[in-house]
Structure 1
Amino acid sequence: MLKPHEREKLINAVVYFASNTEHCGKIKLIKLLYLLDFEHFRQTGRSVTGLDYSAWKLGPVPAAFFQEWEQWQPDFSEAIEIQPERVFDYDLLKVVPKAAFDDSHFTPRELRIMHQLAERFRGERSQPLINFTHDELGPWSKIWDSGRGFNHRIPYMLAIPDSDPHAQVVREFANEQAAIRTALGTSR
């Protein structure tokens, strides 16, 4: 049976980003998860965390994760906590890991992408990530469409540009994975 371990990967991706970046609050974390999922999908035809992202004014948002932020499930509560952080004259919240990062369910590619994202955005605050995820040619902007696509799901397929020489193969693989999940009753 197909067992993707998406929940474990989500929790551990959060722990990883909180451990390996500075100023990791809600917005930065959501942007890093989006970049992880969409970059991995672009390369392989499947996301890492299994989150679905919606187009909101402030960018792509995994609505289920966003809602859970207000009341963590026990597995998240055991892995992270939210603490206040004073930055300049602002009181912000940051994610602090309570558990060690567990890489046991990640592929080498997933780990490499997480590492690259953490390195690239380590000391950045949220704004550079917002600029990056709001790219006019990116998946969010294609759905957002000046607000007409508010709260619409952002299809992962938009991560694969037509100019990519492997686009057709990745799309076929993604469709096969979706068919398998549907047949097993595990589709989202």
Structure 2
Amino acid sequence: MQGFNVDKNKTLNAALYVLNRLGEIDYHKIFKILYFADQEHLKDFGRPITGDCYQAMNFGPVPSFLYDIFKAAEKGIHPFYEAVEMSAAFSIRRSGNIPYVTAKTEADQDELSDSDLEILNKSIESNRELNFEELVKKSHDAAWTSAAERMDIEMPYLEIAEAAGTSQDMMRYITLNAENDQNMH
């Protein structure tokens, strides 16, 4: 179990916020910017921004729900109604095998806390200029490696936080937050 429930509105608005700041970018870049933002927010505040379930894929962590939204935006259909409904906020185009995404609307920043926005901005600035290979290398951290070694693509939030060098006190706090989040749903 990954630990937190996905906050679908925050996931949508965090992705829109990144795209509003950067314009059209490929899936890989937005996925990594959000991964590093969720990781840093865990380390600093004891909870992720999105709660999306990260999957350890070949080229690094992929947020599962956001990926479903993007697939729905590209194909126009998806088995999850919420993904189809939220996909209207994005436009997808392909250049060869590379999918690029653009926001069709502005992020509702009221859905994002001040700390969410602070960490999203830091992640954008830290990762916007990194190329594909640099993002792959940076995102193949201890959490990704652990999932790959287990042959389980799900990356638990405790391992994501630990890979960032999170203190033991904060790790305990994250555990309590995850338990409370699970009990609320």
- The reply to whether TM is greater than 0.5 is yes
1:83 is the counterpart of 2:84: no
Q: Distance in 2 between matches of 1:58 and 1:163?
A: 19
1:168 is the counterpart of 2:168: yes
CA distance change for structure 1 residues 69 and 100 in 2, over 3 Å: closer, same or farther? closer
CA distance change for structure 1 residues 150 and 31 in 2, over 3 Å: closer, same or farther? farther
Aligned-residue CA RMSD (Å)? 2.7
Please state how far the C-alpha of 1:105 moved relative to its aligned partner: 2.1
Q: Distance in 2 between matches of 1:61 and 1:154?
A: 10
Q: Distance in 1 between matches of 2:54 and 2:104?
A: 26
> Percent same amino acid at aligned positions?
23
SS in structure 1 of the partner of residue 37 of structure 2 = helix
Which position in structure 1 is the counterpart of 2:99?
93
**Greater C-alpha radius of gyration:** 1
CA distance change for structure 1 residues 179 and 80 in 2, over 3 Å: closer, same or farther? same
Please state how far the C-alpha of 1:40 moved relative to its aligned partner: 1.0
Number of residues paired by the alignment? 172
Q: Distance in 2 between matches of 1:111 and 1:68?
A: 21
State the Cα deviation string for residues 84-107 of structure 1 (Å, max 9, x = none): 45xxxx574321111112211222
Q: Distance in 2 between matches of 1:5 and 1:59?
A: 19
CA distance change for structure 1 residues 100 and 22 in 2, over 3 Å: closer, same or farther? closer
Equivalent residue in structure 1 for 2:127, among 121, 132, 142: 121
Gap regions ≥5 residues in structure 1: none
Q: Distance in 2 between matches of 1:6 and 1:91?
A: 29
SS in structure 2 of the partner of residue 48 of structure 1 = coil
The equivalences for 1:106-185 within 5 A come to 106-135=112-141, 138-145=142-149, 149-161=150-162, 167-184=167-184
Gap regions ≥5 residues in structure 2: 74-82
Please state how far the C-alpha of 1:131 moved relative to its aligned partner: 1.6
Please state how far the C-alpha of 1:23 moved relative to its aligned partner: 5.3
Please state how far the C-alpha of 1:22 moved relative to its aligned partner: 5.6
Which position in structure 2 is the counterpart of 1:37?
38
Please state how far the C-alpha of 1:57 moved relative to its aligned partner: 2.2
CA distance change for structure 1 residues 111 and 163 in 2, over 3 Å: closer, same or farther? closer
Q: Assess if the C-alpha contact under 8 Å between 1:57 and 1:150 holds in 2.
A: no
SS in structure 2 of the partner of residue 152 of structure 1 = coil
| Structure of greater relative contact order (alpha carbons < 8 Å, 6+ residues apart) | 2
SS in structure 2 of the partner of residue 70 of structure 1 = helix
Q: Distance in 1 between matches of 2:6 and 2:148?
A: 30
Q: Assess if the C-alpha contact under 8 Å between 2:90 and 2:103 holds in 1.
A: yes
Return the structure number with greater helix share.
2
